[in-house]
Structure 1
Amino acid sequence: MSKVKVGILGAGGIAQTHVNNLNNDPRVDIIGIADIKQENAENLAKQTKHAKPVGSLDELFELGVDTVYVTIPNTLHVDAVLTCLENNVSVFSEKPMATNLADAKKIKDAATKSDAIYNLGMNQRYAHVFKKVKGLIEKGELHPYVAHMKLNRGELLNPAWTSNPEITGGFFFETPIHLLDLSRYLFGEAVTVTCEARQSISESELDSFTILLTYESGTIATFVTYAHSGWSFPFESLEVYGKHSTITTKDLDHVMYSPGLNQKIEVEEYFDVSFADKWGYVEEDRLFIDSLVNGSKQPVSAEDGYQTAKLIDAIYESAKTGEKITLSEYKKELETV
């Protein structure tokens, strides 16, 4: 069986994580690493068997890649992804899909027309703690009546680019997007969203959000996310409340499940599990390669990614207007273009 020939576009930290995973997959041959900084491409290429360091996406195409991992800054994703899909080259794009809804729609449409596969990297769906939550919901052991999500990004200081919306696309696209996507994965599509937001410490954007969401499953959820608390732990948490039952996560290290009254509480901890495994990167890479090799469904399709992009857009709109937004009616004109 011929191997999947992979190119990496962008040789930063997250590219390193994917290269480590792909190096351990016998179905994969990483043949090119592209970065505008030649030194970065060369350094990452040295960690593969024989990948060639190059400077552009076009040079990856010239090498004959079957698929490209797009691991460049958030605001640069769209052009690279569209170019891949137009050339029928499959693409794994790190989040976000795009930093505005119109561009996300362009990718969704291009993915529909292309013979290639598009996948959005939303690794936390495959973190052990959240797989536990998902499993209990799917088995019917926990009905999620109410949920609370919390994420503090830290400080918008380190790395410095996290405070620059010209790179991130906005606060929500950098880290909070993970829990928002996860909420759709666990509770179904959002029905309504209401948001209050403030510009607390940032000189350029909203950085403090309190959000109320309802979902098609009937779940009601609150989500608070902000950039001004420092890395106080747990910096990320999820609480889901069922009938006399609760499941709680603390970061991606700890999950506690109380199944009912007068029952034993179950605790699972993943402190000693490797970063890439604990955070879900190992499984999402395996599932993406599965989709290329076996024809199985990719982890996060363009349609799936578009719904998260739409929800983020609605959150910003609600923050601006103060209005509750019904997602089924929101920007319907885009859907008819």
Structure 2
Amino acid sequence: MSVRTAFIGAGGIASVHLSNIEASDLGDVVAICDIDPSVAESTAETHAAAAFTDAKALFEEAEFDAVIVSIPPFAHGEAERLAAKHETHLFVEKPLGLDRTPAETIDAAVTEAGVITQVGHMNRYADIVERAVELIDGRQVSLVNGHWYDGVADAAWWRKKAQSGGQVVEQSTHVFDLVRYFAGDVDELHAYGEKQVVGDRIDFEDSVVATMHHETGAVSHVATSCASPRYRTAVDVIGDGFDLQLNFNENRLTGVVNQQDVAYEGNGEKYRNELEAFLTAVSNDERSLVRSPYSDAIKTFEATLDVYEAIADKTPVEAKR
């Protein structure tokens, strides 16, 4: 079955998902919704789809099986609630919003509706991550160390914490998600942050570090900065007989497992892989294909909120979930 798919939000990452769905035989783009009429109409015309500027009208007037929500953090809420109300399968980009309570309400709603959900933590579908999981093969993880370094994003909303959530919530959430993926859920978190370099271009910390203890007994550390003149992100995973580094700039996995060198080159198709997994899950009702359902992604989201809470309070934070 080809999944009839609607889009809410047609800019930014949505263009990647649109290209991937058009290249696949798993889904058909039937409707586009964007608050900018010119964007909605031009994108809809390109994909021979219906155009909307209002999400409520989209759900009431168009017929589709799944919706892909790609909107800024401050705009989350209505689209997800409508998906739950209309029992529509939901793919939603990270972060899940700005606040804990609305996300928890949406989590409960989509769970009650019984819809398939996927959150855009695409690195779970990167082949270098898949290979690392195979090599670790269930052995005890001792330490995960990750970083996300970049400059200040161009979007005006990104520079305001009230609209983006800050860099930890909006960007390095991908690193926090991989830390959880390898080390398990967080039970305690310490964090520090300062703004030393970027100045008034942003209203949140330009450099943050977080140290976590996990329910599995593993410990982890994540460093985040938007003061860097270049983009770099990587995750190290160390444990029983292994030491692996996942370099996401180069789509490369290196390290040692059982005293054997590892060197694996990825193909960089993680966005395509996550979308195809979602569409296949919807088409065949194979929920096990989804690696980042809303009910799991909310734990990553809340961990990133905990980072800023720990910075503000200058005290450790116990995980809320």
> Do they superpose with TM above 0.5?
yes
Amino acid at match of 1:240: V
Pick closer, same or farther for the CA change 1:304–1:202 going to 2, 3 Å. Answer: farther
Identify the range of structure 1 (14-23 vs 203-212) with the bigger mean alpha-carbon deviation: 203-212
Alignment match of 1:300 (pick from 284, 292, 301): 292
Structure 1 segment 150-189 matched on structure 2, within 5 A: 150-152=147-149, 154-189=150-185
Alignment match, 1:238: 235
- C-alpha distance in structure 2 between counterparts of 1:86 and 1:238, whole Å: 38
User: Residue 282 of structure 1: which of 251, 272, 279 is its match?
Assistant: 272
* Counterpart for residue 96 of structure 1: 95
Partner residue of 2:143? Answer: 146
Q: 1:194 aligns with which of 190, 197, 200?
A: 190
The equivalent residue for 2:304 is 312
Q: Give the AA of the match of 1:88.
A: E
1:9–1:56 contact (8 Å) kept in structure 2: no
Within 5 Å, give how 1:1-337 maps onto structure 2: 1=1, 3-48=2-47, 50-61=48-59, 62-137=61-136, 139-140=137-138, 143-152=140-149, 154-200=150-196, 201-203=198-200, 204-232=203-231, 235-243=232-240, 245-252=242-249, 253-261=251-259, 263=260, 265-270=261-266, 273=267, 277=269, 280-297=270-287, 298-327=290-319, 330=320
Return the letter of the residue paired with 2:254: M
Q: Does the 8 A contact of 1:288 with 1:299 survive in 2?
A: no
Q: What letter is aligned with 1:241?
A: I
TM-superposed CA distance for 1:157, in Å, is: 4.3
Q: How far did 1:76 drift?
A: 0.7
Contact 1:77 1:93 in 2 (8 A): no
What's the RMSD between the two structures over aligned residues?
Answer: 1.9
What SS class does the counterpart of residue 141 from structure 2 fall into? coil
Structure 1 residue 115: Cα displacement = 3.8
Cα offset, 1:67, TM superposition: 1.6
- Which structure 2 residue ranges, 5 or more long, are not aligned? none
2:207–2:225 contact (8 Å) kept in structure 1: yes
Report the residue type matching 1:294 in the other structure. Answer: N
Cα distance per residue 1:257-316 (max 9 Å; x no partner): 21244x3x221224xx4x5x1xx1111111111221111113322220221122122212
- Separation in 2 of the partners of 1:125 and 1:157? 24
The whole-number CA distance in structure 2 between the counterparts of 1:202 and 1:250 is: 29
Q: CA deviation at 1:215?
A: 1.4
- 1:241-271 per-residue CA deviation (whole Å, 9 max, x = no partner) reads 224531112224221021244x3x221224x
Post-superposition shift, 1:101? 0.7
1:22 and 1:60 map into 2 onto residues whose CA distance is 19
Q: Give the total of aligned pairs.
A: 314
Is 155-164 or 108-117 further displaced after alignment?
Answer: 155-164
| Contact 2:94 2:121 survives alignment (8 Å) | yes
Percent identical among aligned pairs is 23
| Deviating 4+ runs (over 6 angstroms) | none
Name the SS of the counterpart of 1:228 in structure 2. coil
The structural deviation recorded for 1:58 is 2.6
Alpha-carbon distance between aligned partners in 2 of 1:115 and 1:216, rounded to the nearest angstrom: 28
The aligned amino acid for 2:82 is T
